[in-house]
Structure 1
Amino acid sequence: MLTFIPLFLIIYIFRNSRLRVSHATKLRHAIEEHLDEKLYIGKASFIYSTQSAIQDTSKSDDREALAENADDTEGKEKGRTLFCGWQMRIFAWLLLIICLGIAVTFTTFYGVMFGEATCKKWLSSLFLSFFISVLLAQPIKVLLLAVFFSFICKSTDRVDQIEIFEEEDRIIQTLGKRYQLRMDREYLNNNYLSDDFRPQRLVILPPDPSDLARVRAYRLKQRRANDIIREVILYVFFLTLLLIVSLDFRDANGFLLKSSLQNLFFPSSFQSMNDVDDFYKWAQNVLIPGLRADRWYNRNPPLFQRGFLQDRTDRIIGYGMMRQLRTKKDSCNVHELAKHLFKHCYGSYDMFNEDKEAYGISWAKFEGDHKSNNSAPEFVYQNSSQLKGYPYLGQITWYSGGGYVHLLRGSKDEMLDRMSFLNQTHWIEFSTRAIIVQFTVYNPNINLFAIITALIEMPGIGAMIPSYRIETANLFGVLGSKTKLAQITSQALFAFILFCYLIKEIRSMFRQRLKYFTKFWNFVELFIICGSIAAIAAYIYMILSTKSSIEEFSRTHGNIYMNFQLLAYWNENLTYLTAIICFFAMLKLVYLFRFNQRVGLLGSVLKYAATDLKYFCFIFLVVFSAFVLVFYLLYNDTLSGFKTILNAIETSMQIILGKFDFTSMYERQMVLGPLLFAAFSLCVVFVMVSMFIAILDESFQRVLKDLSLQSDDHEMTQFIAIQFIQSIGLDRTTWGKNFIKNVNTQQQEPIYDPESESSKHVAQLKSLMNEFLEHVQQNLITEERKPVDSK
């Protein structure tokens, strides 16, 4: 009830207030501007009434019938609702602004008074009630009100509409009097145009077809200009919100946090790791000391820093985990001639055929049962469901989420002793194919998580391939401690604008049907909308999962292993998706800039050259693939740039760009290397690239000469500029007049069309024949009918 009364009052004032300038007055001004003279409009010769009454009065000039009709109309007008003046609209606007200000003030003060926790719950309930109101409550309310007013309230005629109709009738009467005569005649007495005489028959000649076509084209241009302005403003607003939300998602402190953790756990010696001894040195001298805060400079213990890293800033979530992935013994096939040289053989790792057996200490045969045995936790396999792990991609292959697990927990000395035990019991041996170290830290100062994964691959070639990955992410999102009202507002506005775009595209699909899917930019729009919806869903899932994990961490006081690998995958995919969405959103600016003459010319050139470019791309793909295959076969085992097909493609593209070291190819293949490099440079760099440029140059020259191949979208920019100048009154100035004159002189003439020209000549001939026949009828035939005077 508090909101119903002021809203009802505002709606009533807007609906029942007269316009300051009526539509009929605007019509009269437009007619007077077109005729370049003043119209003398007297009082209406009849009152606006029903169609039957008008027909009765048109058949006879009975004044009593007109009087009775007028009396009936006056009786109806007495029962009509009184309407307010146009000044009441100003009062309604002021009342609306005051109501909005009161609502904003109360919302702000209540938000400050509630506090952070209660404010979050209040905002969540507010957004929920808003969407429920928009999707459910308001449609039902509108339907019920419509039924109520249609069945209960009596429909009455509006006085303002009646007056508009009467004024339009007076204008039509005046034009009817004016155009009863032919175009080449005029009244002898001009008072006929200003008196109250009503002709018995209104004869209004149709407008000139050329003028009507010109006015219709001008109106279509106005509607198109309004659509363009609306589209550009809405999309710029949407793009701004998208960039704000995307930039808020990526914190600038993430790089600094990653650099700090990289210097702490992965020095230069990590990349030079080559054997098992190097791994244990890294684990005992770098990894374990970095996981625990050391004593202070005065040898005091690190009080209140339990669980913090060596930098005393980042807090580890739970504890770290080190797991080993193994391959089965005798899992490879040795040639018959070499079998007697090897006792056992260990094949490559396969996540679907890995070793999952339980062993005793030092990988001895398992003896005993689950309660009493000769094993240790590090020699018993745990699957991915137990560890809540997921497959991980290394430089060689995929690795499963399970393995033989060693937990990095306890004090620093306990972890060092346990690492020495693993070294003594040969935990890493011939069957080992990968060691994965995983842990997650949280920095409360910048509200960022860091998910750290170190991978040491042992492919069975007698060496190690170390790699690591540090992913920083804001997993708390809007629930974080750095949340600002502006971020929440921008995210809510982005979701609302995205919903509006979704409705707009659905309406376009239903309106255009299959034609909708024939335009490239419609697919871009669909990808932006669907990708944004998927990104919002992934973002909400990450926030809820993080909240659940942190609640579990708080409940157990950190004495639990927290695997954030799935959240790391979601964060990575969300980053890729956000980047692609921003790319296509920025790319769509090219479509909006098509109204620029140069940008529109570029689109016309590409459209004209599309056929030639398709054949060129096919030939280029064949030639380029041939050279890539040759380079891969020659250098896959000698140069890192050609070790895989994908690397060979990347390196070949670098050769085209001129960013390549030729000496490495010459040193590995002193004969074929220079020949292949020269052939590739000649065929691809010189011939194919030159052909591509020639196709574009020829298309550009053709489009530049033939105006029919160019788009007329650039004319809309000039039209919008003229409309803006006229709307603000600058067309009355000298500068405005010169600008409009220059634009009009720059408009290109229409292309010659034989059919339209011939029809134009036929119409002119028909008009001349009609005038000739009329002249003959008025002069010669009249002279023949005159009687001859008798002499």
Structure 2
Amino acid sequence: MMFCEFAEDPFPWLSYRENISADVVGFKMTATAANGSMIEITPDVAEVYLGRKNLSFAAFSLIVGPDNEPSEVDESLRRTSGGFSFKVDSEAGKEVLVHILTEVTVPFTVLVYAGSHVSPTALVATFLVPHDIPPVANQSDLFDPACTVKVARVVCLPLSLLKAIAQRSQSTECAISVVLQAPRFVTKLSDKIVRISLFYVHCLDMFGIQSDWREDICVLGEVTTWDRVHCVCKNTRRARRQLNTIRLGNTHLHARYLTAKVIVVPNPIDLRLEVIKEVSIYGLTYGYEKAIEWLFASFCSFFLSVFLVQPSKIMLSAGIRLNKLKYCKNLPWVSHYRYTEITLQNMKLDPDEMRKQHDYIVGLRGTRMYQPLREDDIRIFKRKKRLKRRAILFLSYVVTHFIFLALLLLLAALLRHTNTVYYNEFLHNQFFVDLDTVTKLQDIYSWLNDVLVPLLHNSLNPTFLPESASVILGLPLMRQVRAKSGETACPPAKNFVQSSIKGEIHCHPKYGTDPEDTENYTSSWIKISKRATDKNTKGFTYKPQEKRWPYHSHGLLHTYGSGGYAFYFFPDQEQSNSTERLEGLRSGKWLDERTWAVILELTTLNPDANLFCSLSVVFEVSPLGVVNTSLSLHSFALADFNRKKSAEIYLYVAILIFFLAYVVDECYVITQERAAYVKSVYNLLNFALKCIFALLIVLFLKKHFLAAGLIQFHSSNSADFIPFHAVSQVDHAMRVTLGFLLFLTILKTLRYSRVFYDVRLAQGAIQTALPGIFHVALAVSVYFFVYMAFGCLVFGQHEWNYSNVMRATQTIFSYCVSAFQNTDFSENRVLGILFLSSFVLVMICILVNLFQAVILSLYEEMKQPVYEEPSEEVEAMAYLCGKLRTIFGFLSFRFKVLQEPEFFMDMLYGQPEKNSRRYLGLKTRNINGRKMVYLVV
């Protein structure tokens, strides 16, 4: 065998010379035939390793650096990345090899994108590149990941992938972007760590020196790298060639030569450098199309500004300036206009015209314009100045009030009342099934087994409620509140001292009076000393009151704390687990005569609507021995403080700014008015509004911090009961507070609606009629109490509407608005008819109409006094409307301001009495705490 390796290309006259960048080798294998002649031997497979030449330009440095993750990201999740893009012809027919040259041993993730820009929609392939084994491609329907080269750190982009990218770009020349990601191993940008070699290879073969290089014999081998080419040559015509060689034994023997054509992909672009290049060219990190759109938008903005916005501003400012009279004092002493150098031509007048002009000037000097100011004029000017200041303050108060009202309405909308109603109704329909059939303690077990357990255990989707997207957070908790063992005082037993049934009479303990049991027991209520902590324990363990997240459970009879003998359900386990454990409770007589209440509590989350719901089912044992059941639900949503995904945070910041401004303003008013502050009803209303606003802020922050703590607790202790009921109770208090705040804010709107005469008239009539209203209200309250007490005592035993004081009060209130319902009075119809008849006669026909008569009688009498009494709000509104009319009059080129329309004046000031003269003449009245004398004509 003969093998030779050439230092230079021995065949410079052949083709491919300019592309051959690998060594040229040759070999020849011969053998001696039987007749002593030399024959050529062609092997089945020949593998040759060829070294590459000119490696200085075979690879380029890649800039890698840390990603721009937020600072709160965990250190283990931080990444180092780099990227580059290149263009390649998909019709070249060879796979592209990407060799990552680095000394670090971290695994890389190579992301291949179609096009020159990186976007999630352009991702076409992903490769995992460890440092010691060949890369692994993801399974995809776009391409066949099979490739010949299988070397560590060498990523092969197969021909099928290139064709898929070319088909997407609808061009044979396809642009490809490659991004490298790895666990963080650098802290700043660097181009000294990673180098990339980008190439594809053709193996060339030549038999004898008289032929030419061919590409169809040898193929690329598995261990090709950036500095060494592996070629595999297979001979498919060995038998025929050997026979021909034997026949032509005297022919000159030929050698086989091998080399490789290595083509380096030209002009790869580092993506980090490409961003810098686009900034310098376009000014922004946009592409060419986006830059053209920005250029068009800039031209449009320029033309709109020059031909529309600026002329409008000039016209508006000029109109405002022309509206004000100009005097000599308004002319500046120093300016670029030389008034003294203006020459007046053709000013020669005859004596008559000069005399007329002189008389006109003398008359003009005698007018009020050129006379000294009098005291009345000064007073008028001061009043106008005060009126202007008052109008500006009034306008600012009105604008800020309605902005604040809009913010509160937006906050109320974020509470998602409609969604919470539907969510509560959905859960109510699921958990209320057969709940009204529970009348005994043993019925509780039946309801738990038949209704609750199938709801908690979903075999198809564990921890989710059946046929819904609601997930159960934590473990559902069932706890029992029971009385402590011992003798219970029973007064009725003393009445049977001499009777034989004295020992048979005993009373059940009462909640709130007798002590609650907090001991630990075995499964048969046998006391033990050591407390068990396992949730699967077979004993009865007392769960103490929540201290970190306290809450209460409300039943029909009492309000219970968060403690009790706990029993947990495990939704992620089989349904049989809960069934067997409930059977153990039944056999251990968990419910007995000392049971006060059984409370079931759980929390669900609907991620689609972002709603939490705290659910409580309370079974209470009444003194009559009947079990009362109640189901309470409260849904709530948590605030979203993610600035990138939600705009809620801007609303909260605006509300907080308003709160701080209101506090500062109220403190300033208190320091200015001091003792007189409490004498104004308007000040008291403002103070109450600010206090409720402060309470709303406190409850909102408390709800947020409670929820954040519970969510963190759930993330670390998901197999435990999560008391989101504490958050729901704070949310309920916050909603009630927001309701009162909205009520007072809307009520405050009446202050600004006093600009209308009818509103002032109604307020004046009510204020004047307050003594009469109080007296009539006292009479109505007495009769109201009489009917309530009579109905409760006479009909309370048989009529549900009068069974207690609260229901009787609600029933009488409904009668006052003529809502007569459930008026059968089946036990005593005669008394019922007399009761309703007297109520209609006394309460509706007399007292309610008397209320109206007291107010309406003063309504007519207050028209003239309200018309005469000055109002600051009306003056401010009239001033603002006059300014608006002046501005709009100039814009419509009507320089002569018309008088105010009559209907507008009637709305603001009203009309005087025309048929009565008792209000005319000189009057004296206390107005705003001052005695004023005025004349009515």
Task: State the TM-score, normalizing by the size of structure 1.
Answer: 0.64
Given candidates 807, 810, 817, the residue that maps to 1:657 is 817
Alignment of 1:737-756 (within 5 A): 737-739=898-900, 752-753=921-922
Give deviations 1:550-581, integer Å, cap 9, x for gaps.
2222223x122212222121111111111111
Query: Alignment partner of 1:468: what SS?
Result: strand
Aligned partner (choices 347, 352, 355) of residue 509 of structure 2: 347
Which of 221, 234, 237 lines up with 2:400 in the alignment?
Answer: 234
- What is the alpha-carbon distance in structure 2 between the residues aligned to residue 113 and residue 166 of structure 1? 58
1:668 corresponds to: 827
Task: State the Cα distance separating 1:723 from its structure 2 match.
Answer: 2.0
Which among 418, 427, 451 is matched to residue 286 of structure 1?
Answer: 451
Look up the SS of the partner of 2:601 in the other structure. strand
| Cα distance between partner residues in 2 of 1:208 and 1:760 | 22
Q: 1:400 to 1:490 in 2, by over 3 A?
A: closer
Q: Secondary structure at the match of 2:568?
A: strand
How far is 1:451 from its partner? 0.6
| Cα deviations by residue, 1:477-500 (Å, 9 ceiling, x for unpaired) | 1247x9844321121112112211
Is 1:362 equivalent to 2:521 in the alignment?
no
Listed as ranges, the matches of 1:219-258 within 5 Å are 219-250=385-416, 252-258=418-424
Mark the runs of 5 or more structure 1 residues left unpaired by the alignment. 1-111, 119-162, 169-187, 196-203, 295-301, 762-791
1:194-250 Cα deviation digits (max 9, x unpaired): 99xxxxxxxx96534554444444443333222211111111111111211221133
Q: CA deviation at 1:334?
A: 4.1
How has the CA–CA distance of structure 1 residues 643 and 743 changed in structure 2, closer, same or farther, with 3 Å as cutoff? closer
Retained in 1: the 8 A contact 2:603–2:614?
Answer: yes
Within the alignment, does 1:321 sit opposite 2:484 as a pair?
no
Cα deviation per residue 1:761-789 (whole Å; 9 max; x = unaligned)?
Answer: 9xxxxxxxxxxxxxxxxxxxxxxxxxxxx
2:588 matched residue in structure 1: 425
Q: Give secondary structure in 2 for the equivalent of 1:316.
A: strand
Q: Matched residue of 1:729: which SS? A: helix
State whether residues 604 and 710 of structure 1, in contact with CA within 8 Å, keep that contact through their aligned partners in structure 2: no
CA deviations on 1:70-111 (whole Å, 9 max, x unpaired) are xxxxxxxxxxxxxxxxxxxxxxxxxxxxxxxxxxxxxxxxxx
Deviation at 1:703, TM superposition (A): 0.3
How far the C-alpha of 1:732 sits from its partner, in A, is 6.6
Which of 694, 709, 721 is equivalent to 1:533?
694
Partner residue of 2:614 out of 451, 464, 482: 451
Equivalent residues in 2 for 1:401-480, closer than 5 Å: 401-409=562-570, 410-475=573-638, 477-479=639-641
Over 3 Å counting, the alpha-carbon distance change for 1:491 and 1:369 in structure 2 is closer
Aligned partners of 1:580 and 1:754: how far apart in 2? 43
CA distances 1:693-746 after superposition (whole Å, capped 9, x unpaired): 111111101102434675634454344322210133359739951546886898
The answer to whether 1:597 aligns with 2:757 is: yes
Aligned to 1:75: none
Q: Tell me what 2:843 maps to.
A: 684
Q: Secondary structure at the residue paired with 1:488?
A: helix
RMSD, aligned α-carbons: 3.9
Tell me by how many angstroms 1:458 deviates: 1.0
Q: What is the percent sequence identity of the aligned residues?
A: 19
Distance in 2 between residues matched to 1:405 and 1:387, nearest whole Å: 18
Amino acid at match of 2:661: C
CA distance 1:741–1:206, shift in 2 (3 Å): farther
Question: C-alpha distance in 1, partners of 2:658/2:613?
Answer: 32
Deviation of 1:597 (Å): 1.8
Equivalent residue number for residue 490 of structure 2: 333
Deviation at 1:270, TM superposition (A): 0.9
Match of 1:700 in 2: 859
Q: CA deviation at 1:332?
A: 4.0
The separation in 1 between residues aligned to 2:730 and 2:400, in whole angstroms, is 30
Distance 1:508 1:116 in 2: 45
1:102-121 map, 5 Å: none
Structure 2 gaps, min length 5: 1-66, 74-328, 335-354, 363-369, 913-918, 926-932
- Alignment of 1:270 with 2:435, yes or no, is yes
Kept after mapping to 2: 8 A contact 1:362/1:426: yes
* 1:84-99 alignment, distance < 5 Å: none
Q: Tell me the equivalent position of 1:24.
A: none
SS of aligned partner of 1:317: strand
Q: Could you tell me which residue of structure 2 aligns to residue 491 of structure 1?
A: 652
Q: 2:427 aligns with which of 226, 249, 261?
A: 261
Contact 1:319 1:407 in 2 (8 A): yes
What is the aligned residue count?
564
More strand by share: 2
Deviations 1:42-83, CA, capped at 9 Å, x for gaps: xxxxxxxxxxxxxxxxxxxxxxxxxxxxxxxxxxxxxxxxxx
Equivalent positions of 1:705-716 (< 5 A) are 705-707=864-866, 712=871, 713-714=873-874, 716=876
Q: Is the 8 A contact 2:640 2:646 kept in 1?
A: no
1:397 to 2:566 alignment:
no
For 2:696 and 2:904, the matched residues in 1 are separated by 46
State the one-letter code of the partner of 2:623: G
User: Is the 1:293–1:309 contact (alpha carbons within 8 Å) kept by the matching residues of 2?
Assistant: yes
Once the 2 structures are TM-superposed, how far is the Cα of residue 323 of structure 1 from its aligned partner?
0.8
Q: Distance in 2 between matches of 1:563 and 1:755?
A: 68
Which amino acid in 2 is paired with 1:561?
Answer: F
Residue identity opposite 2:636 in structure 1: A
CA contact (8 A) 1:326 1:355 kept: yes
Local SS of the residue matching 2:921: coil
Cα gap change, 1:626 to 1:561, in 2 (>3 Å):
same
Deviation (angstroms), 1:396: 1.0
Question: Does the residue aligned with 1:362 lie in a helix, a strand or coil?
Answer: coil
Partners of 1:604 and 1:709 within 8 A in 2: no
User: What's the counterpart of residue 877 of structure 2?
Assistant: 717
Q: How far apart are residue 397 of structure 1 and its match?
A: 1.6
Would you say 1:571 and 2:571 are equivalent positions? no
CA contact (8 A) 1:330 1:344 kept: no
The corresponding residue for 2:720 is: 560
Q: Which moved more, 1:397-406 or 1:452-461?
A: 397-406
| TM superposition score normalised by structure 2 | 0.55
CA contact under 8 A between 1:595 and 1:714: conserved in structure 2? yes
CA distance, structure 1, for counterparts of residue 741 and residue 659 of structure 2: 13
Q: Find the aligned partners of 2:372 and 2:910 in 1 and give their Cα distance.
A: 29
- The secondary structure found in structure 2 opposite 1:319 is strand
Alpha-carbon distance change, 428 to 437 in structure 1, aligned in 2, over 3 angstroms: same
Q: Is the 8 A contact 2:689 2:741 kept in 1?
A: yes
Bigger helix fraction? 1
Q: Map 1:624-639; keep pairs closer than 5 Å.
A: 624-639=784-799
- 1: CA distance between counterparts of 2:896 and 2:844? 52
Aligned to 2:706: 545
Per the alignment, residue 644 of structure 1 pairs with 804
Cα 1:709–1:525, aligned 2, differ >3 Å: closer, same or farther? same
For the pair 1:520 / 2:681, whether they are aligned, the reply is yes
**Match for 2:412: what amino acid?**
S
